[in-house]
Amino acid sequence: MVEGNYSKLADVVWHRADVLVWLDLPLLLVVRRIVFRSLRQLAGLDTSAQAQRLTWKRAFFERRSLLRTAIRKYRHNRPRYARQVAETAALGVHVVRLRSGRQTDAWLANALADRSPAHGGPNPPRFEML
């Protein structure tokens, strides 16, 4: 299993996968999550090391703030990810493209249910395009 934004490893790893799951969330959702997480951290509701270092300026107002960086990277990386995912699918790898939190939750619940003892033990999860 490989997790994260490792598009540079796409040529090395993705074609060897059984399944590629792409969390292709809308920019508005990504921005909303960053804003709420940052506000939560700035309010002191998160005690992680990252939250302790976060400032209003670093979160929202610097040229390279979390928010601006996320928007810039989304616009820059998404077309490249789409190309790489399409190339990987063309090689026969099953691709699951999840475009919302609701789709992600449903897919994950389905995958976990297939692995439960109630379904006959730890079987490989079913993968579907949502």
Report the run of H or E that residue 109 belongs to, with start and end.
helix 101-114
Looking at residue 7, what is its pLDDT?
66
Cα dist from 116 to 110, 123, 126, whole Å: 10, 8, 12
Using CA atoms, how far apart are residues 111 and 78, in angstroms rounded to an integer? Answer: 26
Using CA atoms, how far apart are residues 130 and 126, in angstroms rounded to an integer? Answer: 12
Whether the predicted pLDDT of 126 surpasses 60: no
Whether the predicted pLDDT of 85 surpasses 70: yes
Whether the predicted pLDDT of 125 surpasses 60: no
pLDDT in tens, 71-82: 999 999 999 999
Looking at residue 19, the DSSP 8-state letter turns out to be E
Q: Please give the residue that has the higher pLDDT: either 127 or 66.
A: 66
